[in-house]
Amino acid sequence: GIQVEQSPPDLILQEGANSTLRCNFSDSVNNLQWFHQNPWGQLINLFYIPSGTKQNGRLSATTVATERYSLLYISSSQTTDSGVYFCALGAGSYQLTFGKGTKLSVIP
Amino acid sequence: DSGVTQTPKHLITATGQRVTLRCSPRSGDLSVYWYQQSLDQGLQFLIQYYNGEERAKGNILERFSAQQFPDLHSELNLSSLELGDSALYFCASSVGSGAEAFFGQGTRLTVV
Protein backbone atom coordinates (compact mmCIF):
# COMPACT_ATOMS: atom_id res chain seq x y z
CA GLY A 1 0.00 0.00 0.00
CA ILE A 2 0.86 3.65 -0.15
CA GLN A 3 3.46 4.97 2.29
CA VAL A 4 2.96 8.33 3.99
CA GLU A 5 5.72 10.10 5.87
CA GLN A 6 5.16 13.30 7.82
CA SER A 7 7.80 15.60 9.20
CA PRO A 8 8.69 16.85 11.67
CA PRO A 9 7.07 14.50 14.20
CA ASP A 10 7.05 17.20 16.87
CA LEU A 11 7.17 20.97 16.67
CA ILE A 12 7.16 23.61 19.39
CA LEU A 13 6.50 27.20 18.36
CA GLN A 14 6.25 30.53 20.05
CA GLU A 15 2.92 32.23 19.43
CA GLY A 16 3.15 34.34 16.29
CA ALA A 17 5.75 32.18 14.56
CA ASN A 18 5.33 30.54 11.16
CA SER A 19 5.79 26.86 10.35
CA THR A 20 5.85 24.39 7.48
CA LEU A 21 4.72 20.80 7.82
CA ARG A 22 5.63 18.26 5.17
CA CYS A 23 3.98 15.10 3.85
CA ASN A 24 5.85 12.77 1.48
CA PHE A 25 4.09 9.90 -0.23
CA SER A 26 5.11 6.92 -2.29
CA ASP A 27 2.50 6.69 -5.04
CA SER A 28 0.14 8.69 -7.25
CA VAL A 29 -2.91 9.95 -5.35
CA ASN A 30 -6.44 10.90 -6.22
CA ASN A 31 -7.20 12.28 -2.78
CA LEU A 32 -5.03 14.18 -0.32
CA GLN A 33 -6.41 15.79 2.79
CA TRP A 34 -4.93 17.67 5.74
CA PHE A 35 -6.62 17.36 9.12
CA HIS A 36 -6.14 18.98 12.49
CA GLN A 37 -6.87 16.80 15.50
CA ASN A 38 -7.59 19.09 18.42
CA PRO A 39 -6.91 18.20 22.07
CA TRP A 40 -10.48 16.89 22.36
CA GLY A 41 -9.82 14.34 19.63
CA GLN A 42 -11.89 15.90 16.86
CA LEU A 43 -10.56 15.53 13.31
CA ILE A 44 -11.14 18.81 11.53
CA ASN A 45 -10.85 19.11 7.77
CA LEU A 46 -8.31 21.71 6.74
CA PHE A 47 -7.76 21.10 3.05
CA TYR A 48 -8.75 18.72 0.30
CA ILE A 49 -5.79 19.16 -2.02
CA PRO A 50 -4.76 16.32 -4.37
CA SER A 51 -2.88 18.95 -6.38
CA GLY A 52 -2.29 22.68 -6.52
CA THR A 53 -2.39 25.37 -3.86
CA LYS A 54 -5.16 26.53 -1.53
CA GLN A 55 -5.39 29.13 1.19
CA ASN A 56 -7.75 29.52 4.11
CA GLY A 57 -6.94 32.41 6.41
CA ARG A 58 -3.62 31.84 8.13
CA LEU A 59 -3.31 28.36 6.66
CA SER A 60 -2.30 27.37 3.18
CA ALA A 61 -1.34 24.11 1.49
CA THR A 62 0.47 23.06 -1.63
CA THR A 63 0.60 19.62 -3.22
CA VAL A 64 3.12 18.80 -5.93
CA ALA A 65 1.72 15.48 -7.12
CA THR A 66 4.48 14.83 -9.66
CA GLU A 67 7.09 15.05 -6.89
CA ARG A 68 4.87 13.29 -4.34
CA TYR A 69 4.80 15.77 -1.52
CA SER A 70 2.47 18.21 0.14
CA LEU A 71 3.18 21.14 2.44
CA LEU A 72 0.99 22.78 5.05
CA TYR A 73 1.91 26.34 6.04
CA ILE A 74 0.74 27.89 9.28
CA SER A 75 1.41 31.59 9.69
CA SER A 76 1.17 33.74 12.82
CA SER A 77 0.49 30.65 14.93
CA GLN A 78 -1.92 30.83 17.85
CA THR A 79 -2.27 28.59 20.90
CA THR A 80 -5.50 27.22 19.41
CA ASP A 81 -3.42 25.79 16.54
CA SER A 82 -1.96 23.23 18.96
CA GLY A 83 -2.78 19.61 18.29
CA VAL A 84 -1.80 16.96 15.77
CA TYR A 85 -1.79 17.59 12.04
CA PHE A 86 -2.42 14.61 9.79
CA CYS A 87 -1.88 14.15 6.12
CA ALA A 88 -4.11 11.43 4.61
CA LEU A 89 -4.04 10.00 1.11
CA GLY A 90 -6.25 8.00 -1.17
CA ALA A 91 -4.46 6.24 -4.01
CA GLY A 92 -6.67 4.22 -6.32
CA SER A 93 -8.32 2.40 -3.45
CA TYR A 94 -11.17 4.11 -1.72
CA GLN A 95 -10.00 4.65 1.83
CA LEU A 96 -7.57 7.20 3.23
CA THR A 97 -4.19 6.16 4.55
CA PHE A 98 -2.99 8.41 7.35
CA GLY A 99 0.49 9.51 8.22
CA LYS A 100 1.67 9.41 11.82
CA GLY A 101 1.10 13.12 12.22
CA THR A 102 2.99 16.19 13.37
CA LYS A 103 2.33 17.19 16.97
CA LEU A 104 2.33 20.98 17.19
CA SER A 105 2.55 22.84 20.48
CA VAL A 106 2.18 26.63 20.37
CA ILE A 107 3.29 28.34 23.56
CA PRO A 108 2.31 31.88 24.60
CA ASP B 1 -19.73 20.52 12.68
CA SER B 2 -18.79 18.02 9.95
CA GLY B 3 -22.36 16.73 9.51
CA VAL B 4 -21.32 13.18 10.47
CA THR B 5 -22.95 12.04 13.69
CA GLN B 6 -21.57 9.30 15.90
CA THR B 7 -23.12 7.84 19.02
CA PRO B 8 -22.30 7.30 21.76
CA LYS B 9 -19.42 9.72 22.40
CA HIS B 10 -18.06 7.64 25.26
CA LEU B 11 -18.45 3.98 26.15
CA ILE B 12 -17.01 2.03 29.05
CA THR B 13 -17.50 -1.71 29.07
CA ALA B 14 -15.96 -4.87 30.46
CA THR B 15 -13.81 -7.43 28.72
CA GLY B 16 -15.78 -10.08 26.87
CA GLN B 17 -18.73 -7.79 26.21
CA ARG B 18 -20.22 -6.66 22.90
CA VAL B 19 -20.95 -3.06 21.87
CA THR B 20 -22.47 -1.30 18.87
CA LEU B 21 -21.27 2.04 17.57
CA ARG B 22 -23.55 4.05 15.33
CA CYS B 23 -22.84 6.50 12.54
CA SER B 24 -25.09 8.77 10.49
CA PRO B 25 -23.29 10.12 7.39
CA ARG B 26 -23.65 13.59 5.94
CA SER B 27 -26.75 14.11 3.87
CA GLY B 28 -26.11 12.87 0.33
CA ASP B 29 -22.97 10.86 1.16
CA LEU B 30 -23.10 7.24 0.06
CA SER B 31 -19.73 6.07 1.39
CA VAL B 32 -19.12 5.34 5.05
CA TYR B 33 -15.72 4.47 6.49
CA TRP B 34 -14.71 3.23 9.93
CA TYR B 35 -11.32 3.96 11.46
CA GLN B 36 -9.68 3.01 14.74
CA GLN B 37 -7.20 5.31 16.47
CA SER B 38 -5.07 3.80 19.20
CA LEU B 39 -1.93 5.20 20.80
CA ASP B 40 0.38 2.57 19.34
CA GLN B 41 -1.22 2.01 15.90
CA GLY B 42 -2.27 5.49 14.86
CA LEU B 43 -5.31 5.90 12.58
CA GLN B 44 -6.11 2.57 10.96
CA PHE B 45 -8.76 1.94 8.32
CA LEU B 46 -11.20 -0.80 9.28
CA ILE B 47 -13.90 -1.07 6.64
CA GLN B 48 -15.83 0.88 3.98
CA TYR B 49 -19.40 0.67 2.75
CA TYR B 50 -20.86 2.27 -0.33
CA ASN B 51 -24.63 2.49 -0.70
CA GLY B 52 -25.19 -0.56 1.49
CA GLU B 53 -22.48 -2.76 0.01
CA GLU B 54 -19.11 -3.56 1.56
CA ARG B 55 -16.47 -1.89 -0.64
CA ALA B 56 -13.13 -2.37 1.09
CA LYS B 57 -11.69 -4.03 4.17
CA GLY B 58 -8.65 -3.00 6.13
CA ASN B 59 -7.23 -4.17 9.41
CA ILE B 60 -10.54 -5.27 10.86
CA LEU B 61 -10.53 -8.14 13.35
CA GLU B 62 -12.88 -11.09 12.90
CA ARG B 63 -14.52 -10.12 16.21
CA PHE B 64 -15.60 -6.86 14.57
CA SER B 65 -18.32 -6.49 11.96
CA ALA B 66 -20.17 -3.64 10.33
CA GLN B 67 -23.12 -2.94 8.10
CA GLN B 68 -24.75 -0.06 6.29
CA PHE B 69 -28.52 0.14 6.31
CA PRO B 70 -30.91 1.30 3.55
CA ASP B 71 -31.13 4.76 5.17
CA LEU B 72 -27.29 4.83 4.84
CA HIS B 73 -26.51 4.92 8.54
CA SER B 74 -23.89 2.42 9.62
CA GLU B 75 -23.15 0.37 12.70
CA LEU B 76 -19.86 -1.12 13.86
CA ASN B 77 -20.23 -4.14 16.14
CA LEU B 78 -17.35 -5.08 18.42
CA SER B 79 -17.60 -8.39 20.28
CA SER B 80 -15.56 -10.40 22.79
CA LEU B 81 -13.90 -7.14 23.73
CA GLU B 82 -10.32 -7.12 24.97
CA LEU B 83 -8.35 -4.44 26.80
CA GLY B 84 -6.45 -3.74 23.59
CA ASP B 85 -9.66 -2.73 21.82
CA SER B 86 -9.73 0.47 23.86
CA ALA B 87 -9.42 3.23 21.29
CA LEU B 88 -11.11 6.13 19.56
CA TYR B 89 -13.37 4.87 16.76
CA PHE B 90 -14.16 7.26 13.94
CA CYS B 91 -16.73 7.15 11.24
CA ALA B 92 -16.26 9.19 8.08
CA SER B 93 -18.40 9.75 5.03
CA SER B 94 -17.93 11.01 1.49
CA VAL B 95 -19.92 11.32 -1.70
CA GLY B 96 -17.80 8.63 -3.31
CA SER B 97 -14.28 7.38 -3.85
CA GLY B 98 -11.67 10.08 -4.20
CA ALA B 99 -13.99 12.71 -2.77
CA GLU B 100 -13.33 14.67 0.39
CA ALA B 101 -14.06 12.66 3.52
CA PHE B 102 -15.56 14.18 6.65
CA PHE B 103 -15.16 12.66 10.10
CA GLY B 104 -17.51 12.37 13.02
CA GLN B 105 -16.48 13.31 16.56
CA GLY B 106 -15.59 9.70 17.35
CA THR B 107 -16.60 7.20 20.00
CA ARG B 108 -14.09 6.76 22.79
CA LEU B 109 -14.25 3.11 23.86
CA THR B 110 -12.68 2.03 27.11
CA VAL B 111 -12.57 -1.68 27.91
CA VAL B 112 -11.93 -2.44 31.58
pLDDT band at A93 (very low <50, low <70, confident <90, very high): low
Mutation target to probe the B interface, by most B beta carbons within 10 A, among A3, A32, A38, A43 is: A43
Instruction: Determine contact, residues A44/A37, Cβ cutoff 8 Å.
Output: yes
How big is the CA angle at B41 (ends B40 and B45), to the nearest 5 degrees?
Answer: 160
Contact B23, B103 (CB under 8 A): no
Probe site for chain B from A32, A94, A97, A98 (most B CB atoms < 10 A): A94
- pLDDT at residue A43, as a whole number: 96
Name the residue facing B56 among A86, A93, A98 (closest C-beta).
A93
> Is the pLDDT at A92 greater than 80, yes or no?
no
Report chain A residues whose CB lies below 8 A from the CB of B108: 41
| pLDDT tens, per residue, chain B with 112 residues | 889 999 999 999 999 999 999 999 999 999 999 999 998 889 999 999 999 999 999 989 999 999 999 999 999 999 999 999 999 999 999 998 788 999 999 999 999 9
Contact between chains at A33 and B56 (C-beta distance less than 8 A): no
User: Does residue A95 carry a pLDDT above 70?
Assistant: yes
Q: How many CB atoms sit inside 10 A of residue A10's CB?
A: 10
Residue A73 scores a pLDDT above 80: yes
- The mean pLDDT of A84-103, rounded to a whole number, is 90
